[in-house]
Protein backbone atom coordinates (compact mmCIF):
# COMPACT_ATOMS: atom_id res chain seq x y z
CA UNK A 1 0.00 0.00 0.00
CA UNK A 2 1.17 3.51 -0.77
CA UNK A 3 1.64 6.06 1.95
CA UNK A 4 -0.24 9.34 1.69
CA UNK A 5 2.43 11.96 2.35
CA UNK A 6 0.11 14.84 3.18
CA UNK A 7 -1.51 12.90 6.01
CA UNK A 8 1.86 11.62 7.18
CA UNK A 9 3.15 15.16 7.39
CA UNK A 10 0.52 15.91 10.00
CA UNK A 11 2.27 13.53 12.35
CA UNK A 12 5.80 13.51 11.00
CA UNK A 13 7.41 11.15 8.51
CA UNK A 14 7.18 7.59 9.80
CA UNK A 15 6.84 4.02 8.70
CA UNK A 16 4.27 1.67 10.22
CA UNK A 17 2.67 -1.64 9.36
CA UNK A 18 -0.65 -0.58 10.96
CA UNK A 19 -3.37 -1.74 8.55
CA UNK A 20 -5.75 1.01 9.71
CA UNK A 21 -3.18 3.66 8.76
CA UNK A 22 -3.07 2.17 5.27
CA UNK A 23 -6.85 2.42 5.04
CA UNK A 24 -6.76 6.05 6.19
CA UNK A 25 -3.98 6.89 3.72
CA UNK A 26 -5.75 5.42 0.72
CA UNK A 27 -9.18 6.78 1.62
CA UNK A 28 -7.69 10.26 1.98
CA UNK A 29 -5.93 9.87 -1.37
CA UNK A 30 -9.23 8.94 -3.02
CA UNK A 31 -10.81 12.00 -1.44
CA UNK A 32 -8.08 14.29 -2.87
CA UNK A 33 -8.49 12.74 -6.31
CA UNK A 34 -12.22 13.45 -6.12
CA UNK A 35 -11.51 17.08 -5.22
CA UNK A 36 -9.31 17.42 -8.31
CA UNK A 37 -11.98 15.91 -10.56
CA UNK A 38 -14.87 18.03 -9.30
CA UNK A 39 -14.11 20.93 -11.68
CA UNK A 40 -13.68 18.57 -14.62
CA UNK A 41 -17.01 16.84 -14.01
CA UNK A 42 -18.90 19.97 -12.86
CA UNK A 43 -20.37 18.08 -9.91
CA UNK A 44 -21.93 19.86 -6.95
CA UNK A 45 -20.54 17.41 -4.42
CA UNK A 46 -17.60 15.12 -3.68
CA UNK A 47 -18.07 11.52 -2.59
CA UNK A 48 -15.81 10.26 0.18
CA UNK A 49 -15.30 6.76 -1.16
CA UNK A 50 -13.46 3.74 0.17
CA UNK A 51 -11.12 2.08 -2.36
CA UNK A 52 -10.91 -1.14 -0.35
CA UNK A 53 -13.11 -3.70 -2.11
CA UNK A 54 -13.32 -5.78 1.06
CA UNK A 55 -14.87 -2.90 2.97
CA UNK A 56 -17.35 -1.58 0.42
CA UNK A 57 -20.17 -3.61 1.88
CA UNK A 58 -19.51 -2.17 5.33
CA UNK A 59 -18.79 1.45 4.46
CA UNK A 60 -21.41 4.14 3.85
CA UNK A 61 -21.23 6.74 1.10
CA UNK A 62 -20.48 10.17 2.54
CA UNK A 63 -20.72 13.35 0.50
CA UNK A 64 -19.00 16.72 0.77
CA UNK A 65 -21.53 19.41 -0.08
CA UNK A 66 -21.94 23.05 0.84
CA UNK A 67 -24.32 21.95 3.59
CA UNK A 68 -22.05 19.21 4.98
CA UNK A 69 -18.68 20.96 4.63
CA UNK A 70 -18.33 21.69 8.35
CA UNK A 71 -19.16 18.15 9.47
CA UNK A 72 -16.75 16.74 6.86
CA UNK A 73 -14.04 19.15 8.06
CA UNK A 74 -14.65 17.93 11.62
CA UNK A 75 -14.42 14.32 10.49
CA UNK A 76 -11.16 14.87 8.60
CA UNK A 77 -9.60 16.65 11.57
CA UNK A 78 -10.68 13.75 13.80
CA UNK A 79 -9.08 11.34 11.31
CA UNK A 80 -5.80 13.26 11.55
CA UNK A 81 -5.94 13.16 15.36
CA UNK A 82 -6.57 9.41 15.37
CA UNK A 83 -3.78 8.92 12.83
CA UNK A 84 -1.36 10.75 15.12
CA UNK A 85 -2.41 8.66 18.12
CA UNK A 86 -1.88 5.42 16.22
CA UNK A 87 1.55 6.48 14.97
CA UNK A 88 2.73 7.70 18.37
CA UNK A 89 1.13 4.81 20.27
CA UNK A 90 -0.66 7.23 22.61
CA UNK A 91 -4.21 7.09 23.99
CA UNK A 92 -6.50 10.01 24.77
CA UNK A 93 -10.09 10.44 25.89
CA UNK A 94 -12.78 11.82 23.63
CA UNK A 95 -13.02 14.76 25.98
CA UNK A 96 -9.31 15.57 25.67
CA UNK A 97 -9.44 15.39 21.88
CA UNK A 98 -12.53 17.58 21.76
CA UNK A 99 -10.84 20.31 23.80
CA UNK A 100 -7.80 20.23 21.52
CA UNK A 101 -10.07 21.40 18.68
CA UNK A 102 -12.95 22.95 20.61
CA UNK A 103 -13.30 25.87 18.19
CA UNK A 104 -13.82 23.48 15.26
CA UNK A 105 -16.11 20.96 16.96
CA UNK A 106 -18.09 23.39 19.12
CA UNK A 107 -19.75 20.64 21.16
CA UNK A 108 -18.63 17.24 22.43
CA UNK A 109 -21.36 15.47 20.47
CA UNK A 110 -19.94 16.83 17.20
CA UNK A 111 -16.63 15.12 17.91
CA UNK A 112 -18.44 11.92 18.90
CA UNK A 113 -20.45 12.05 15.66
CA UNK A 114 -17.21 12.48 13.72
CA UNK A 115 -15.92 9.21 15.19
CA UNK A 116 -19.06 7.47 13.92
CA UNK A 117 -18.66 9.01 10.45
CA UNK A 118 -15.04 7.86 10.32
CA UNK A 119 -16.21 4.33 11.08
CA UNK A 120 -18.82 4.58 8.31
CA UNK A 121 -16.26 5.91 5.83
CA UNK A 122 -13.34 3.60 6.53
CA UNK A 123 -15.31 0.46 7.30
CA UNK A 124 -13.03 -0.16 10.29
CA UNK A 125 -12.98 1.15 13.84
CA UNK A 126 -9.92 3.39 13.58
CA UNK A 127 -10.34 4.74 17.11
CA UNK A 128 -10.32 1.35 18.89
CA UNK A 129 -7.58 1.17 21.49
CA UNK A 130 -6.52 4.79 21.01
CA UNK A 131 -9.57 6.97 21.68
CA UNK A 132 -10.94 6.26 25.14
CA UNK A 133 -14.42 6.89 26.44
CA UNK A 134 -14.55 9.80 28.86
CA UNK A 135 -15.26 9.05 32.50
CA UNK A 136 -18.94 9.25 33.43
CA UNK A 137 -20.16 6.44 35.69
CA UNK A 138 -19.19 5.58 39.25
CA UNK A 139 -18.00 2.40 40.97
CA UNK A 140 -17.47 1.48 44.61
CA UNK A 141 -16.66 -1.81 46.32
CA UNK A 142 -13.90 -4.46 46.57
CA UNK A 143 -12.11 -3.51 43.35
CA UNK A 144 -8.54 -2.36 42.69
CA UNK A 145 -7.45 -0.61 39.50
CA UNK A 146 -3.73 -0.93 38.75
CA UNK A 147 -2.69 2.23 36.89
CA UNK A 148 0.81 3.33 35.90
CA UNK A 149 0.51 6.06 38.53
CA UNK A 150 -0.49 3.66 41.30
CA UNK A 151 -3.33 1.51 42.60
CA UNK A 152 -6.83 2.94 43.00
CA UNK A 153 -8.75 1.19 45.79
CA UNK A 154 -12.45 1.53 44.97
CA UNK A 155 -13.47 0.17 48.37
CA UNK A 156 -12.40 3.44 50.01
CA UNK A 157 -14.64 5.79 48.03
CA UNK A 158 -16.66 5.99 44.82
CA UNK A 159 -14.42 6.26 41.76
CA UNK A 160 -15.15 7.76 38.34
CA UNK A 161 -15.18 5.04 35.69
CA UNK A 162 -12.65 5.83 32.98
CA UNK A 163 -11.71 3.67 30.01
CA UNK A 164 -10.00 0.78 31.81
CA UNK A 165 -9.62 -1.42 28.71
CA UNK A 166 -5.81 -1.40 28.95
CA UNK A 167 -5.60 -1.49 32.74
CA UNK A 168 -5.23 -4.47 35.08
CA UNK A 169 -8.10 -4.91 37.52
CA UNK A 170 -8.30 -7.19 40.57
CA UNK A 171 -11.26 -7.92 42.79
CA UNK A 172 -12.46 -10.22 45.55
CA UNK A 173 -16.10 -9.52 44.66
CA UNK A 174 -18.57 -12.24 43.73
CA UNK A 175 -21.21 -10.10 42.03
CA UNK A 176 -21.97 -6.65 40.63
CA UNK A 177 -25.07 -4.54 41.12
CA UNK A 178 -25.67 -1.98 38.37
CA UNK A 179 -28.11 0.81 39.22
CA UNK A 180 -29.60 3.25 36.77
CA UNK A 181 -29.15 6.59 38.50
CA UNK A 182 -26.63 8.38 40.69
CA UNK A 183 -29.42 9.06 43.21
CA UNK A 184 -29.99 5.31 43.67
CA UNK A 185 -26.22 4.74 43.87
CA UNK A 186 -25.89 7.28 46.70
CA UNK A 187 -29.06 6.02 48.41
CA UNK A 188 -27.71 2.45 48.58
CA UNK A 189 -24.40 3.68 49.99
CA UNK A 190 -26.33 5.56 52.67
CA UNK A 191 -28.34 2.40 53.38
CA UNK A 192 -25.02 0.64 54.17
CA UNK A 193 -25.12 -1.49 51.04
CA UNK A 194 -21.35 -2.06 51.21
CA UNK A 195 -21.59 -3.30 54.79
CA UNK A 196 -24.55 -5.56 54.00
CA UNK A 197 -22.99 -6.88 50.78
CA UNK A 198 -19.19 -6.81 51.20
CA UNK A 199 -18.73 -9.21 48.27
CA UNK A 200 -20.59 -6.98 45.80
CA UNK A 201 -19.44 -4.10 43.58
CA UNK A 202 -21.87 -1.21 43.09
CA UNK A 203 -21.89 0.53 39.68
CA UNK A 204 -23.92 3.28 38.02
CA UNK A 205 -23.76 4.68 34.50
CA UNK A 206 -25.65 7.77 35.72
CA UNK A 207 -28.66 7.35 33.49
CA UNK A 208 -27.30 5.46 30.49
CA UNK A 209 -24.84 2.64 29.75
CA UNK A 210 -21.82 4.60 28.55
CA UNK A 211 -18.89 2.84 26.88
CA UNK A 212 -16.46 3.24 29.79
CA UNK A 213 -18.91 1.61 32.20
CA UNK A 214 -19.58 -1.24 29.77
CA UNK A 215 -15.84 -1.80 29.30
CA UNK A 216 -15.40 -2.12 33.07
CA UNK A 217 -18.30 -4.56 33.33
CA UNK A 218 -16.97 -6.63 30.43
CA UNK A 219 -13.62 -6.97 32.21
CA UNK A 220 -15.55 -8.27 35.21
CA UNK A 221 -17.82 -10.45 33.09
CA UNK A 222 -16.94 -13.59 35.06
CA UNK A 223 -18.99 -12.20 37.97
CA UNK A 224 -22.76 -12.30 38.27
CA UNK A 225 -24.20 -8.96 37.14
CA UNK A 226 -27.58 -7.70 38.35
CA UNK A 227 -29.47 -4.59 37.24
CA UNK A 228 -31.67 -2.42 39.47
CA UNK A 229 -33.56 0.07 37.30
CA UNK A 230 -36.72 2.16 37.24
CA UNK A 231 -39.99 0.73 35.95
CA UNK A 232 -40.61 3.10 33.04
CA UNK A 233 -40.48 3.01 29.23
CA UNK A 234 -38.87 6.41 28.67
CA UNK A 235 -36.28 8.69 30.24
CA UNK A 236 -37.07 12.22 28.98
CA UNK A 237 -33.60 13.71 29.44
CA UNK A 238 -31.35 11.00 27.98
CA UNK A 239 -33.87 8.98 25.97
CA UNK A 240 -32.74 5.73 27.58
CA UNK A 241 -35.51 3.77 29.29
CA UNK A 242 -34.89 1.15 31.94
CA UNK A 243 -35.58 -1.58 29.39
CA UNK A 244 -33.22 -0.03 26.84
CA UNK A 245 -30.52 0.19 29.51
CA UNK A 246 -31.00 -3.48 30.42
CA UNK A 247 -30.91 -4.51 26.76
CA UNK A 248 -27.78 -2.47 26.03
CA UNK A 249 -25.90 -4.07 28.92
CA UNK A 250 -27.10 -7.55 28.00
CA UNK A 251 -27.18 -7.54 24.18
CA UNK A 252 -24.97 -4.60 23.21
CA UNK A 253 -25.62 -1.20 21.68
CA UNK A 254 -27.67 -0.66 18.54
CA UNK A 255 -24.84 1.63 17.43
CA UNK A 256 -22.56 -0.62 15.36
CA UNK A 257 -19.32 1.18 16.30
CA UNK A 258 -20.01 0.33 19.93
CA UNK A 259 -20.88 -3.23 19.03
CA UNK A 260 -17.45 -3.61 17.43
CA UNK A 261 -16.18 -4.03 20.97
CA UNK A 262 -17.04 -7.18 22.87
CA UNK A 263 -19.13 -5.40 25.48
CA UNK A 264 -22.15 -7.68 25.70
CA UNK A 265 -23.07 -9.19 29.07
CA UNK A 266 -25.24 -12.25 28.32
CA UNK A 267 -25.50 -13.00 32.04
CA UNK A 268 -26.86 -9.54 32.92
CA UNK A 269 -30.02 -10.06 34.99
CA UNK A 270 -32.62 -7.38 35.60
CA UNK A 271 -33.86 -7.86 39.18
CA UNK A 272 -36.16 -4.84 39.38
CA UNK A 273 -38.00 -2.61 39.54
CA UNK A 274 -40.40 -5.21 38.10
CA UNK A 275 -44.16 -4.92 37.64
CA UNK A 276 -44.40 -8.57 38.73
CA UNK A 277 -42.98 -7.70 42.13
CA UNK A 278 -44.91 -4.47 42.75
CA UNK A 279 -47.86 -6.14 44.54
CA UNK A 280 -45.44 -7.12 47.34
CA UNK A 281 -44.85 -3.47 48.23
CA UNK A 282 -47.19 -1.01 49.89
CA UNK A 283 -46.89 1.89 47.45
CA UNK A 284 -49.20 4.90 47.42
CA UNK A 285 -51.20 5.08 44.21
CA UNK A 286 -50.04 8.68 43.78
CA UNK A 287 -46.52 7.36 43.08
CA UNK A 288 -47.71 5.78 39.82
CA UNK A 289 -47.42 8.24 36.93
CA UNK A 290 -49.54 7.85 33.77
CA UNK A 291 -47.70 7.12 30.54
CA UNK A 292 -47.45 10.05 28.13
CA UNK A 293 -48.19 9.79 24.41
CA UNK A 294 -44.55 9.49 23.39
CA UNK A 295 -44.08 6.76 26.00
CA UNK A 296 -46.84 4.68 24.45
CA UNK A 297 -45.04 4.96 21.11
CA UNK A 298 -41.78 4.03 22.81
CA UNK A 299 -43.36 0.87 24.26
CA UNK A 300 -44.36 -0.30 20.80
CA UNK A 301 -40.79 0.07 19.50
CA UNK A 302 -39.37 -1.63 22.58
CA UNK A 303 -41.74 -4.57 22.20
CA UNK A 304 -40.56 -5.12 18.62
CA UNK A 305 -36.89 -4.98 19.60
CA UNK A 306 -37.35 -7.33 22.57
CA UNK A 307 -39.32 -9.79 20.45
CA UNK A 308 -36.28 -10.21 18.18
CA UNK A 309 -34.06 -11.39 21.06
CA UNK A 310 -36.95 -13.38 22.59
CA UNK A 311 -36.47 -12.15 26.16
CA UNK A 312 -39.68 -13.31 27.82
CA UNK A 313 -39.09 -11.41 31.08
CA UNK A 314 -38.69 -8.05 29.34
CA UNK A 315 -41.61 -8.76 27.02
CA UNK A 316 -43.78 -9.38 30.06
CA UNK A 317 -42.64 -6.09 31.60
CA UNK A 318 -43.65 -4.18 28.47
CA UNK A 319 -47.01 -5.95 28.33
CA UNK A 320 -47.70 -5.04 31.96
CA UNK A 321 -46.87 -1.40 31.28
CA UNK A 322 -49.36 -1.54 28.40
CA UNK A 323 -51.95 -3.12 30.67
CA UNK A 324 -51.70 -0.63 33.54
CA UNK A 325 -50.70 2.44 31.55
CA UNK A 326 -48.40 3.84 34.22
CA UNK A 327 -44.80 3.86 35.41
CA UNK A 328 -42.87 3.93 38.67
CA UNK A 329 -39.44 5.09 39.84
CA UNK A 330 -37.22 3.39 42.42
CA UNK A 331 -37.64 6.33 44.78
CA UNK A 332 -41.20 5.15 45.43
CA UNK A 333 -39.82 1.95 46.99
CA UNK A 334 -36.89 3.58 48.76
CA UNK A 335 -39.29 5.75 50.72
CA UNK A 336 -41.34 2.88 52.22
CA UNK A 337 -39.07 2.23 55.21
CA UNK A 338 -35.40 2.83 56.10
CA UNK A 339 -33.12 0.60 54.00
CA UNK A 340 -36.16 -0.59 52.03
CA UNK A 341 -34.22 -1.06 48.79
CA UNK A 342 -31.77 -3.42 50.48
CA UNK A 343 -34.46 -5.15 52.54
CA UNK A 344 -37.08 -5.58 49.82
CA UNK A 345 -35.62 -5.20 46.33
CA UNK A 346 -32.27 -6.91 46.87
CA UNK A 347 -33.01 -9.65 49.37
CA UNK A 348 -34.38 -12.14 46.83
CA UNK A 349 -31.51 -12.13 44.36
CA UNK A 350 -28.33 -11.19 46.19
CA UNK A 351 -28.94 -11.98 49.86
CA UNK A 352 -26.42 -14.84 49.56
CA UNK A 353 -23.73 -12.19 49.17
CA UNK A 354 -24.65 -10.48 52.46
CA UNK A 355 -22.46 -10.81 55.54
CA UNK A 356 -23.23 -13.69 57.92
CA UNK A 357 -23.90 -11.19 60.70
CA UNK A 358 -26.25 -9.09 58.58
CA UNK A 359 -28.11 -11.65 56.50
CA UNK A 360 -31.33 -10.09 55.26
CA UNK A 361 -34.45 -11.61 56.74
- Read off the pLDDT of residues 287-311 as tens digits, 9 standing for 90 and up: 777 877 777 877 888 888 888 888 8
Domain 5-132: state its class.
mainly alpha
220-225-229 Cα angle (round to 5)? 130
Mean pLDDT for the stretch of residues 205-216: 86
Instruction: Tell me which of 94-108, 117-131, 260-274 is least confident.
Output: 260-274
**Domain spans in the chain, listed from the N-terminal domain onward:** 5-132, 138-353
**Could you tell me which of 237, 238, 213 has the C-alpha nearest to residue 227?**
213
pLDDT confidence of residue 255: 61
In the predicted model, is pLDDT for residue 149 greater than 70?
Answer: yes
In the predicted model, is pLDDT for residue 244 greater than 70?
Answer: yes
pLDDT confidence of residue 166: 80
In the predicted model, is pLDDT for residue 81 greater than 60?
Answer: yes
pLDDT confidence of residue 45: 65
Tell me if 125 sits within 8 A of 263, measured CB to CB: no
Q: Which residue has the higher pLDDT, 39 or 346?
A: 346
Question: DSSP strand E in 94-181: where?
Answer: 131-132, 138-140, 143-147, 150-153, 159-160, 168-171, 175-179
| 258 pLDDT tier (thresholds 50, 70, 90) | very low
Mean pLDDT for the stretch of residues 265-293: 74
Residues 6+ apart with CB under 8 A from 327: 230, 231, 232, 233, 288, 289, 291, 295, 321
pLDDT confidence of residue 53: 54
Of the ranges 63-72, 81-90, 235-244, 259-268, the best mean pLDDT one: 81-90
Of the ranges 66-80, 89-103, 165-179, 343-357, the best mean pLDDT one: 165-179
Share of the chain above pLDDT 90, in %: 18
Q: Which residue has the higher pLDDT, 72 or 343?
A: 72
In the predicted model, is pLDDT for residue 110 greater than 70?
Answer: yes
Mean pLDDT score across all residues of the chain: 77
Share of the chain above pLDDT 70, in %: 73
pLDDT confidence of residue 40: 57
pLDDT confidence of residue 335: 59
pLDDT confidence of residue 155: 93
Distance CA 256, CA 158 (A): 31
User: Helices 242-251 and 211-219 meet at what angle, rounded to 10?
Assistant: 50
The DSSP symbol for 201 reads E
Spacing of C-alpha 301 from chain mean position:
20
Residue 272, strand partner residues: 228
Q: Which helix (H) or strand (E) holds 224?
A: strand 224-228
pLDDT confidence of residue 339: 67
Distance CA 10, CA 116 (A): 22
For domain 138-353, give the fold.
Dna Topoisomerase Vi A Subunit; Chain: A, domain 2 (3.40.1360)
Of the ranges 10-14, 31-35, 165-169, 280-284, the best mean pLDDT one: 165-169
pLDDT confidence of residue 361: 45
Amino acid sequence: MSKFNTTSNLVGNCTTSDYVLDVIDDCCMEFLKSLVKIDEQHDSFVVLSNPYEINKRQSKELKLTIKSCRSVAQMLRAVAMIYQLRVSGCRKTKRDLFYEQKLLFGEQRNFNNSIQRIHDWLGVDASAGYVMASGHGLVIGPLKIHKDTGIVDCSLQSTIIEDFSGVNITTTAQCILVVEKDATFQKLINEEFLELFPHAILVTGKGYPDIATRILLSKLGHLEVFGLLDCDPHAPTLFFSCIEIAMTYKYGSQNKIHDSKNLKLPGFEWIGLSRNKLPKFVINIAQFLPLQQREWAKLSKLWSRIAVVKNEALLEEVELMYKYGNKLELEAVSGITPRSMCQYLLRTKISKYATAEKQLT
